């Protein structure tokens, strides 16, 4: 049996971490697997009157709740907001309404919906690398990728960590290329004191069940003008401005009224949820601070991440095991994880022949192959974070045996 040679890890006595990991036949830390992610919902009582009013009125779409949600989001963003059926449809419509052509610069370290939205518009994703510490699109790689075919930059606020808005906006202005951000994870975050939602031509958010604010399904777009917001509202309604004569081909990308009721209540919980996730992120980092081979996402001290996900980069020689072995050992402890984002977007089979790569994606490849997202949701108990950390520590302590 491999036993630790030091007397304690941050907050843990020898006894608490030297017990055998479940993958080696020990008792699982969780008898029943915990959730990886759960929506933190308003109570039914908080929603029932508004639900009842929607049903009584019979107006299931295009009504007051969507308008109220947009007004609340506009207050948060400090500029016009448009509600849509989901972030993917919002991204598709934003690219269409901004009249993009040719190539769009985009990171590959993202959920594939980011780049899907370009391909649905007949655009070519031009993938660039990310920064090794923030895991967000690298402004220098963006600058280097610009060529006459590029019509826009599509950044991503990965895991809710704001991308480098100043640098990206400067490049966008200098080259006359609109900056769109897939901020599916970013609602409630801030960059240098300014709310996410207020940057660039458009920022697009997801309100799906895995996000920090939820509507069931749904999305929001922060738009840089009333004119763009109006066009997006027409675009989400087939392209029909109301006279039954479509000026362009839109989608049905409307958010239903019942979803808007949930979204509205969820926005009311946003500050608390973001604060709570920051506390959980701090707890993870602190409790695992002494474990070698673990690196956390760098969040600029002037920014506020939403921690939609809490992910950790594993250095296999230092930790003693690779990402996949750690994921299996955690699963045996009743701890589900996700490999966000593996494979990275540019490796999706569906993209063969449809994409280009600028420079190389060395950082993306390394991070994608070694990253693991740990359980987190806004109402997760800190004692459960502690138990997850305990599992990681004991797996590390027994890594030689597990890896043998």
Give contact residues for ligand PLP (rule: CB under 6 A): 86-88, 110-111, 113-114, 156, 182, 184-185, 206, 208, 210, 219
| Smallest separation (angstroms) from ligand PLP to the CB of 159 | 9
Instruction: Tell me whether residue 11 is exposed, middle or buried, using C-beta atoms within 10 angstroms of its C-beta: 0 to 12, 13 to 18, 19 or more.
Output: middle
| Smallest separation (angstroms) from ligand PLP to the CB of 8 | 38
Residue 340's alpha-carbon distances to 25, 291, 323, in angstroms, are: 28, 21, 11
Residue 222's alpha-carbon distances to 91, 183, 392, in angstroms, are: 11, 10, 39
| Residue 17 and residue 4 in contact, taking contact as beta carbons nearer than 8 Å | yes
> Which residue, 100 or 180, has its beta carbon nearer to ligand PLP?
180
Length of the chain (residues): 404
For residue 199, give both structure tokens.
Answer: 């940057």
| Smallest separation (angstroms) from ligand PLP to the CB of 174 | 26
> Which residue, 108 or 399, has its beta carbon nearer to ligand PLP?
108
> Which residue, 325 or 374, has its beta carbon nearer to ligand PLP?
374
> Which residue, 9 or 112, has its beta carbon nearer to ligand PLP?
112
| Residue 220 and residue 82 in contact, taking contact as beta carbons nearer than 8 Å | yes
> Which residue, 114 or 163, has its beta carbon nearer to ligand PLP?
114
DSSP strand pairing (294-296 vs 310-314):
antiparallel
> Which residue, 114 or 364, has its beta carbon nearer to ligand PLP?
114
DSSP strand pairing (371-374 vs 310-314):
antiparallel
> Which residue, 22 or 207, has its beta carbon nearer to ligand PLP?
207
DSSP string of 45-96?
A: HHHHHHHHHHHHHT--BSSHHHHHHHHHHHHHHTS-EEEES-HHHHHHHHHH
> Which residue, 219 or 293, has its beta carbon nearer to ligand PLP?
219
Which runs of consecutive H residues, i.e. helices, occur in 126-268? Answer: 139-145, 165-175, 226-235, 257-268
| Smallest separation (angstroms) from ligand PLP to the CB of 218 | 7
| Smallest separation (angstroms) from ligand PLP to the CB of 86 | 3
3-state secondary structure (DSSP) of residue 243: coil
| Smallest separation (angstroms) from ligand PLP to the CB of 171 | 21
| Smallest separation (angstroms) from ligand PLP to the CB of 85 | 8
| Smallest separation (angstroms) from ligand PLP to the CB of 21 | 31
* Consecutive H or E run containing 314: strand 310-314
Of 139, 129, 196, 186, which is closest to residue 164 (Cα–Cα)?
A: 139
Residue given tokens 């069940």 in the structure block: 209
């Amino acid at each position: 049996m491999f036993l630790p040679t030091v007397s304690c890890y941050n907050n843990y006595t020898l006894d608490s971490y030297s017990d055998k990991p479940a993958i080696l036949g020990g008792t699982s830390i969780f008898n029943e697997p915990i959730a990886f992610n759960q929506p933190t919902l308003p109570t039914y009582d908080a929603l029932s009157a508004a639900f009842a009013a929607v049903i009584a009125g019979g107006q299931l779409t295009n009504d007051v709740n969507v308008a109220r949600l947009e007004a609340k989001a506009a207050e948060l963003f400090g500029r016009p907001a448009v509600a849509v059926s989901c972030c993917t449809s919002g991204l598709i419509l934003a690219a269409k309404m901004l009249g993009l052509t040719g190539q769009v610069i985009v990171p590959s370290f993202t959920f594939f919906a980011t780049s899907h939205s370009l391909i649905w518009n007949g655009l070519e994703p031009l993938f660039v690398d990310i920064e090794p510490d923030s895991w967000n699109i690298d402004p220098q790689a963006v600058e280097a990728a610009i060529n006459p075919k590029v019509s826009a930059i599509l950044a991503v606020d990965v895991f809710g960590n704001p991308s480098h808005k100043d640098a990206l906006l400067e490049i966008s202005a200098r080259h006359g290329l609109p900056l769109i951000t897939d901020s599916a994870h970013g609602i409630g975050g801030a960059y240098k004191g300014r709310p996410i939602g207020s940057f660039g031509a458009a920022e697009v958010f997801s309100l799906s069940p895995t996000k920090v604010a939820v509507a069931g399904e749904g999305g929001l777009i922060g738009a840089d003008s009333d004119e763009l917001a109006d066009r997006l509202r027409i675009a989400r309604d087939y392209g029909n401005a109301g006279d039954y004569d479509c000026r362009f081909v839109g989608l049905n990308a409307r958010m239903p009224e019942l979803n808007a009721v949930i979204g509205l209540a969820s926005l009311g919980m946003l500050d608390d949820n973001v604060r709570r996730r920051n506390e959980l992120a701090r707890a993870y980092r602190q409790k695992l601070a002494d474990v070698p081979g673990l690196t956390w996402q760098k969040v600029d001290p002037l920014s506020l991440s939403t921690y939609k996900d809490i992910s950790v980069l594993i250095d296999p020689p230092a930790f003693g095991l690779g990402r996949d072995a750690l994921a299996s050992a955690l699963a045996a402890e009743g701890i589900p994880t996700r490999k966000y984002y593996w494979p990275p977007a540019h490796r999706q089979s569906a993209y063969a022949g449809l994409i280009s790569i600028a420079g190389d994606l060395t950082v993306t490849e390394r991070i994608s192959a070694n990253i693991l997202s740990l359980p987190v949701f806004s109402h997760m108990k800190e004692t459960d974070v502690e138990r997850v950390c305990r599992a990681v520590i004991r797996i590390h302590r027994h890594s030689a045996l597990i890896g043998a």
